[in-house]
Amino acid sequence: MNWYSLCLLAQQKAPSGSARDPLAGLLLPALLVFAVVFMFVSSRSARKNEQKRRDQMLAALSKNDRVLTHGGIIGTIVAIKDNEIVLKVDESTNTKMTFIKDAVRQVVKDPADLHAGELASK
């Protein structure tokens, strides 16, 4: 090694913190990927729980239950067939309508439940 090479080596800065730079460069993207995966998993489990609760509600429907449909119709169940329900929507004229079970939004136990269910689903 000659004198010129030693001078060039002496003038170069020592790599201060260069071992941390690759980790710091990978830390932010890794945290972002972790956050996205975490949000996906948590939203998926929330959807599964909501679907399970809804399936239980539809399975528990019975005659004389008062229900609210997604279309906003309130009626009393008079008959349940395979995937259909028949609702009595008007007492005075004995008007009945047939819906698929999936049209039921909630079972109404009390008129106050009606407003609570509308606010909770928004």
Helix extents (H) in the chain = 3-11, 21-59, 111-121
In the chain, % helix, strand, coil (3-state, to 5) comes to 50, 25, 25
Q: Which CATH class is domain 62-121?
A: mainly beta
Residue 3 has pLDDT above 60, yes or no: no
The DSSP bridge partners found for residue 104 are 69
- For the stretch 31-74, pLDDT in tens is 889 999 999 988 998 999 999 999 999 999 999 999 999 999 99
The pLDDT of residue 58:
92
